[in-house]
Amino acid sequence: MPLRRSAPNGGGGNLTHTFAVHLTCRTSGEDKPVCYATFIASQLSGVGESWRLTYPFEKKRRTTVDVGVKLGQQLVEELQSAICDALARSLSPETTILCPARYRLPDEYIWGVRNSSERVGFMEGHWLFQ
């Protein structure tokens, strides 16, 4: 499930927009625990109309918030696609992947963890399944 969060970053009205893919799963049965992971796709930092990409690579040139948000959304879509590809190839054939969908969890659970995968990487400006 693609997610976006904006949070203060230092003083002077500086904000960080974080774009992420949040993954939840549960084996069949309501009494089973929910497993979860959050993968950060991109981060933008700035104030007003002066923004720059800070993750997954640092872009020195500043841009407008609209252009930065479009890039952030593109990167989160690419990362979600790469994660779904990795899951589809590693799970059993009878497993169902619902995308976008998630079990509702508190924000602290979602944003309190950062995960990575050796099978998904950032190459030549794009998130890809490797």
Do residues 51 and 63 touch, judged by C-beta distance below 8 A?
Answer: yes
Q: Closest Cα partner for 65 from 82, 84, 81, 52?
A: 52
The tens digit of pLDDT for each residue in 36-92 reads 889 999 999 998 888 888 998 887 788 888 888 899 999 999 999 898 888 888 877
Burial state string for 50-60 with b = 16 or more CB within 10 A and e = fewer than 16:
ebebbbbeeee
- Tell me the range of 4-8, 9-13, 57-61, 125-129 where mean pLDDT is highest: 4-8
Question: CA 113, CA 3: separation in Å to the nearest integer?
Answer: 14
Do residues 69 and 44 touch, judged by C-beta distance below 8 A?
Answer: yes
C-alpha gyration radius of the chain? 16
Range of the domain at 117: 2-129
Count: domains in the chain: 1
pTM of the model: 0.83
> Per-residue pLDDT for 13 more than 90?
no
